Amino acid sequence: MSDETLFPGHVIGPTYYFYTSFEEHLTLLLTGGAGYIGSVIARHCIDAGYDIIILDDLSEGNARSLPQGVPFYHADYGDKETLVAIFSKHRVDAVIHLAASSSVPHSVIEPELYYRNNVCKTITLLESMASHGVKKMLFSSSAAVYGEPRYLPVDENHPAIPINPYGKSKLFIEDILRDMAAAADFQFIAFRFFCAAGATQSNGEARPNETHLIPLVADCALGKRERMIVYGDTFPTSDGTGVRDYIHVADIAQAHLLALAKINVLSNTAYNIGTDSGYTTLEVIKLAAKVIGRNIPYIVSTQRPGDPAELVASSGKIRAELGWKPAYDLEQIILSAWQWRKNPRY
């Protein structure tokens, strides 16, 4: 487990022990490694003893999140010349592919951008990997591949019928990875993230145009926003607002370390990363008000296109096969995000 502590008030979860089945030390390329999730994964990989290289165009990432001394390429991950330079200079053993356009509402408005940025550029990355003999990838997929759940919690056998271009782009990439694994000596693990949230002392959400619920709630409590906007209150849920499964970003990083250790024996598959528990938007706002100790006003607006009513993960497969379990609950997630938004490091 990373030796980086979370914010005061957190109950530190169980210690994870890692082994590597590779004979040689691994060097990892992280696309999107300066982003919110990528920056936390990067520090956990360093703490676990891996060498890392970060490739990020900083459109959503932040240069100040980068660990000192790590090779950094400020470029688009779909840039062929940059990829050739990286793979020619460094002996890369595996790629952790996090870079993507990732807003569901925006994907409905500009779908071509999501297919170009997510699918086409990933193909370019995979072509460059193949030409340089790099045969392992951990891919950041999304719960959006499932669409409207037919049952809850959603397990990996649930039909994948995405209802927005973002989810479709992630599913296309998963299909490409499966085809590559069937055709050649290639191994991948796809992680279907549910709602990543929370912060560590070093890294948190710092995007210029924040859209995620929990950091926006913290900003509202800080007076940086006049009120929260709740998008829709007529979903078939307990209070009419959408239900989501929130997972601490440090727990996501732990899943990647476990996968790196076992990719040789558990490759070419997908895992949910979630907690088996869902919360409505209003439940999150009310719990945040309790944890933070401040009133959080909100108004109800119209439902956004492409938003499913509920998304809650079944984490049985990742628990059984990777030995993973979440260490942080929603209250701890909110507290860490609040501490970060009060005093961000960047």
CA atoms of 243 and 263, how far apart (whole Å): 32
- d(Cα 129, Cα 145) in Å, to the nearest integer? 25
**Is there a contact between 242 and 232 (Cβ–Cβ < 8 Å)?**
yes
The verdict on whether 166 is a catalytic residue reads: yes
Catalytic residue among 115, 166, 246, 328: 166
- Rounded Cα gap, residues 207 and 337, in angstroms: 13
Q: How many other C-beta atoms can be found within 10 angstroms of the C-beta atom of residue 311?
A: 24
**C-alpha to C-alpha distance for 138 and 241, rounded to whole angstroms:** 33
Cβ–Cβ contacts within 10 Å for residue 214, how many? 25
Q: Are 54 and 42 in contact (CB under 8 A)?
A: yes
Are 213 and 281 within 8 A, CB to CB? Answer: yes
Return the sign of the alpha-carbon dihedral for residues 319, 150, 166, 283: negative
Strand order of the sheet with strand 243-244? Answer: 279-280, 243-244, 310-311
Q: Which residues are catalytic?
A: 166
